[in-house]
């Protein structure tokens, strides 16, 4: 079962269970996936596209929750956090620090950088190895630390 099919199935279940948070969140996500699939450069709707969109939507919800919390609107912040939690269920588990460092070390060994100027090559190799199990900022921080030493 593809990730899009799972989202569609969960949307139907949320409708049956009358879970408004899951229903609205998954409905919006499905709309975004369908819209992205219609773009000329998008190609087919695959799990990679869906995960990219889920990550984007989670990030939007986290930023909105932070903005609402700092503006003194805790109820809106809680709603955004609940929606982000619904979306996180569709992402793979985050990689631990030790495992991430091990993968970045392997990417460095594969690319054999000549110094910090080859940071981009290391990032490309590490991003492929990690494949959505860690955010780019975490990968970059580990790569910078390892390349600097």
Q: What's the pLDDT tens digit per position in 71-101? A: 999 999 999 999 999 999 998 888 888 888 8
Judgement on whether residues 105 and 79 belong to the same structural domain of the protein: no
Half-sphere exposure of 17 (CA within 13 A, CB side): 12
Judgement on whether residues 112 and 52 belong to the same structural domain of the protein: no
Judgement on whether residues 10 and 83 belong to the same structural domain of the protein: yes
pLDDT of residue 137: 85
Q: Count of domains in the chain? A: 2
Judgement on whether residues 78 and 21 belong to the same structural domain of the protein: yes
Q: Is the pLDDT of residue 145 over 90?
A: no
| Range in 27-31, 56-60, 81-85, 96-100 with the lowest mean pLDDT | 96-100
The alpha helices in the chain, defined as continuous H runs, are 3-17, 20-38, 47-70, 74-88, 97-111, 119-130, 136-148
Judgement on whether residues 69 and 116 belong to the same structural domain of the protein: no
DSSP secondary structure letter of residue 43? -
pLDDT of residue 42: 63
Q: Is the pLDDT of residue 103 over 70?
A: yes
Mean pLDDT within 49-70: 92
Judgement on whether residues 14 and 70 belong to the same structural domain of the protein: yes
Q: Structural domain of residue 52, as residue ranges?
A: 3-88
Judgement on whether residues 24 and 68 belong to the same structural domain of the protein: yes
Judgement on whether residues 109 and 75 belong to the same structural domain of the protein: no
Judgement on whether residues 102 and 81 belong to the same structural domain of the protein: no
Judgement on whether residues 77 and 36 belong to the same structural domain of the protein: yes
Confidence of residue 68 (pLDDT cuts 50, 70, 90): very high
Domain end marker among 65, 88, 111? 88
Q: Is the pLDDT of residue 70 over 90?
A: yes
pLDDT digits (tens, 9 = 90+) for 106-126: 988 888 888 778 888 888 888
Per residue in 79-101, is it b (16+ CB within 10 Å) or e — as a string?
Answer: bbbebbebbeebeeeebeeeebe
């Amino acid at each position: 079962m593809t990730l899009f099919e799972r989202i569609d199935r969960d949307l139907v279940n949320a409708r049956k269970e009358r879970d408004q948070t899951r229903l609205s969140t998954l409905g919006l996500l499905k709309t975004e996936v369908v819209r992205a699939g219609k773009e000329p450069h998008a190609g087919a709707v695959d799990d990679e596209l869906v995960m990219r969109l889920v990550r984007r939507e989670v990030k939007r919800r986290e930023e909105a929750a932070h903005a609402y919390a700092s503006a003194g609107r805790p109820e809106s912040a809680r709603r955004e956090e609940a929606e982000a939690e619904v979306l996180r269920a569709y992402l793979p588990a985050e990689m631990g620090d030790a495992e991430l460092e091990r993968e970045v070390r392997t990417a460095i060994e594969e690319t054999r950088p000549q110094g910090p100027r080859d940071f981009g090559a290391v990032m490309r190799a590490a991003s492929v190895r990690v494949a959505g199990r860690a955010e780019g900022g975490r990968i970059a921080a580990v790569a910078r630390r390892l390349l600097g030493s």
